[in-house]
Amino acid sequence: MGGFKHLVVVKFKEDVVVEGILKGMEKLVSEVDAVKSFEWGQDIESPEMLRQGYTHAFLMTFEKKEDYTAFTSHPSHIEFSATFVTAIDKFVVLDFPSVLAKSPA
């Protein structure tokens, strides 16, 4: 078992300063101990027809679903979510228990 994952894939609005959102997200995850790891990236390779306008992916790892549930009700998450939602044009969210098929080297 690889814990519980929270994956968000987004397309930001045209006028958004993405760097400010990224700093806010990094601050958020540093304030919430339940977040075990946080990764993000910007798509640079996928053809437009495959990515469908989505540009960034964010992945948080939690030890268990209950930690994710606690994260969603944390005051820092609630505050940041209000800012994040206004910055995005569209998004997809997947929350899932992960199955570790190959360990990192």
DSSP 36: -
* pLDDT higher than threshold 60 for residue 1: no
DSSP 85: H
Burial class (CB in 10 A: 0-12, 13-18, 19+), 16: middle
Chain mean pLDDT for the chain: 93
Query: What percent of the chain shows pLDDT beyond 90?
Result: 84
The alpha-carbon radius of gyration of the chain (Å, integer) is 14
Round to whole Å and give the CA distance between 6 and 25.
13
SS3 66: helix
| Confidence bin at 104 (pLDDT 50/70/90) | confident
Q: Hey, what domains does the chain have and what are their CATH numbers?
A: 4-97 (3.30.70.100)
Six-digit token string for 53: 């306008």
The 10s digit of each residue's pLDDT in 13-61 is 999 999 999 999 999 999 999 999 999 999 998 888 888 999 999 999 9
